[in-house]
Amino acid sequence: MKRFYDEVVDVVKAGLRALRIETPSWAFGNSGTRFKVFAQKGVPRDPYEKIADAAQVHRFTGAAPTVALHIPWDRVDSYGDLSHHAREHGVAIGAINSNVFQDDDYMLGSVTNPDPAVRRKALRHLLECVDIMDATGSDVLKLWFSDGTNYPGQDDIRDRQDRLAEALDAVYARLGEGQRLVLEYKLFEPAFYVTDVPDWGTAYAHCLRLGRKAQVVVDTGHHAPGTNIEFIVAFLLREGKLGGFDFNSRFYADDDLMVGAADPFQLFRIMYEVIRADGLDQDVAFMLDQCHNIEPKIPGQIRSVMNVQEATAKALLVDREALAAAQRAGDVLGANGVFMDAYNTDVRPLLAGFREESGLAPNPMAAYAASGYAERIVAERVGGHQAGWGA
- Should residue 289 be labelled a site residue for Mn ion when binding is judged by CB under 5 A? yes
- At residue 191, the 3 state secondary structure works out as coil
Q: Which does 186 bind (CB under 5 to 8 A by kind): ligand LRH, Mn ion, none?
A: ligand LRH
Give the distance from CA 31 to its chain's centroid.
Answer: 17
Q: Which does 254 bind (CB under 5 to 8 A by kind): Mn ion, ligand LRH, none?
A: ligand LRH
User: With contact defined as beta carbons under 8 Å apart, do 271 and 311 qualify?
Assistant: yes
User: With contact defined as beta carbons under 8 Å apart, do 219 and 184 qualify?
Assistant: yes
Output 246 or 341, the one with its CB closest to Mn ion.
246
Q: Which does 273 bind (CB under 5 to 8 A by kind): ligand LRH, Mn ion, none?
A: none
Show the site string, 156-195: x = touches ligand LRH by CB under 6 A, - = not.
Answer: ----------------------------x-x---------
- Should residue 289 be labelled a site residue for ligand LRH when binding is judged by CB under 6 A? yes
Strand blocks (E) in 105-252: 140-144, 148-149, 180-184, 194-195, 214-219, 242-247
Strand blocks (E) in the chain: 23-24, 66-70, 92-97, 140-144, 148-149, 180-184, 194-195, 214-219, 242-247, 285-288
Give me the residue whose beta carbon is nearest to Mn ion. Answer: 246
Please state the closest distance from residue 44 (CB atom) to ligand LRH, in A.
16
Q: Which stretch binds Mn ion (CB under 5 A): 97-105, 167-175, 277-285, 287-295?
A: 287-295
Interatomic CA distance for residues 26 and 5, integer angstroms: 39
- Phi/psi of residue 3, nearest 5 degrees: -60, -45
Output 193 or 389, the one with its CB closest to ligand LRH.
389
Please state the closest distance from residue 87 (CB atom) to ligand LRH, in A.
25
Residue 279: CA atoms inside 13 Å, Cβ hemisphere, count?
28
- Should residue 196 be labelled a site residue for Mn ion when binding is judged by CB under 5 A? no
- Should residue 256 be labelled a site residue for Mn ion when binding is judged by CB under 5 A? no
- Should residue 219 be labelled a site residue for ligand LRH when binding is judged by CB under 6 A? yes
Q: Which does 268 bind (CB under 5 to 8 A by kind): Mn ion, ligand LRH, none?
A: none
CB environment 214-243: b (16+ within 10 A), e (fewer): bbbbbbbbbbeeeeebbebbbbbbeeebbb
- At residue 64, the 3 state secondary structure works out as coil
* Residue of 23, 40, 97, 215 that binds ligand LRH (CB under 6 A): 97
Interatomic CA distance for residues 98 and 73, integer angstroms: 10
- Should residue 246 be labelled a site residue for Mn ion when binding is judged by CB under 5 A? yes
Interatomic CA distance for residues 184 and 207, integer angstroms: 11
Please state the closest distance from residue 153 (CB atom) to ligand LRH, in A.
26
- Should residue 246 be labelled a site residue for ligand LRH when binding is judged by CB under 6 A? yes
Output 68 or 377, the one with its CB closest to ligand LRH.
68
Give me the residue whose beta carbon is nearest to ligand LRH. Answer: 144
Output 289 or 341, the one with its CB closest to Mn ion.
289
User: With contact defined as beta carbons under 8 Å apart, do 188 and 222 qualify?
Assistant: no
**Helix residue ranges, H only, 137-228:** 157-174, 200-210
Output 285 or 316, the one with its CB closest to ligand LRH.
285
Output 60 or 247, the one with its CB closest to ligand LRH.
247
Please state the closest distance from residue 186 (CB atom) to ligand LRH, in A.
6
DSSP conformation class of 347? -
CB environment 134-160: b (16+ within 10 A), e (fewer): ebbebbbbbbbbbbbbeeeeebeeeeb
Size of the site for Mn ion (CB under 5 A): 3
- At residue 216, the 3 state secondary structure works out as strand
* Residue of 28, 144, 286, 339 that binds ligand LRH (CB under 6 A): 144
Q: Which stretch binds Mn ion (CB under 5 A): 48-56, 127-135, 233-241, 281-289?
A: 281-289
Output 30 or 97, the one with its CB closest to ligand LRH.
97
Full strand arrangement of the beta sheet holding 242-247:
23-24, 66-70, 92-97, 140-144, 180-184, 214-219, 242-247, 285-288
Contact set with ligand LRH (CB under 6 A): 26, 97, 144, 184, 186, 219, 246, 254, 289
